[in-house]
Amino acid sequence: MSTIKVDTYLTRGGASEIAIDKLKGASSVGSMTVVGEGGSTTTNLQQGLAKMWIQFDGTGTIATRDSFNRGGLTDNGTGNYTVTFTNNMSNNDFSVAVSMNAENTDGGHGIYSGFYECNTSNCKVSGRRQNANADTQHCGITVHGDLA
């Protein structure tokens, strides 16, 4: 295998684009760090990336609008959903952010949402309004943590 080491890379045409199919760090775990916005700190790239996200309509026949690393989406009942991961997490100590909002005509305002049960392969979330579970038109879930 060949190794190329450079201090500075400049293109001939002035463009600063490099096409790469795979990029990994030189350490044994392939970890990479990137310099932060202020230039004085670094961030671990793998730790900073969302490992799963989904945006869906949770009313009627639930419909995924867009997603990443989402294997399945199940409607467990009013305002209650399970999202299955395509690639599992390494443990159940990951972070889950849930956001839900509903268009309502009954004068009620706001949905409060959260996760209530997670394991390495899925996460269960729910949305509530006025002390009862509520289906919501706009559901977003993001997971950060370590992939298996």
Residue-wise pLDDT for 26-35, tens only, equals 776 778 888 8
Mean pLDDT across the stretch 80-98?
96
Domain count, the chain: 1
The answer as to whether 24 is a domain residue is no
User: Residue 100 sits in which domain range?
Assistant: 49-144
The per-residue pLDDT for 23 is 74
The answer as to whether 91 is a domain residue is yes
Taking alpha carbons only, the member of 108, 97, 102, 99 closest to residue 135 is 102
The answer as to whether 42 is a domain residue is no
The per-residue pLDDT for 103 is 65
Mean pLDDT across the stretch 112-124?
93
Measured distance between the N- and C-terminal CA atoms of the chain, rounded to whole angstroms: 28
The per-residue pLDDT for 106 is 58
The answer as to whether 135 is a domain residue is yes
Mean pLDDT across the stretch 76-97?
96
The answer as to whether 64 is a domain residue is yes
Count the Cβ atoms, other than its own, within 10 Å of residue 134.
22
The per-residue pLDDT for 10 is 74
The answer as to whether 100 is a domain residue is yes
Rounded (5°) CA angle 91-95-96: 115
Q: Which tokens belong to 69? A: 């690393």
The answer, yes or no, to whether residue 139 has pLDDT greater than 90, is: yes
Taking alpha carbons only, the member of 25, 85, 81 closest to residue 57 is 81
Q: Regarding beta strands 95-101 and 138-144, do their DSSP bridges make them parallel or antiparallel, or are they unpaired?
A: antiparallel
The answer as to whether 36 is a domain residue is no
The more confident residue out of 25 and 55 is 55
The answer as to whether 4 is a domain residue is no
DSSP string, 76-100: EETTEEEEEESS-BSSS--EEEEEE
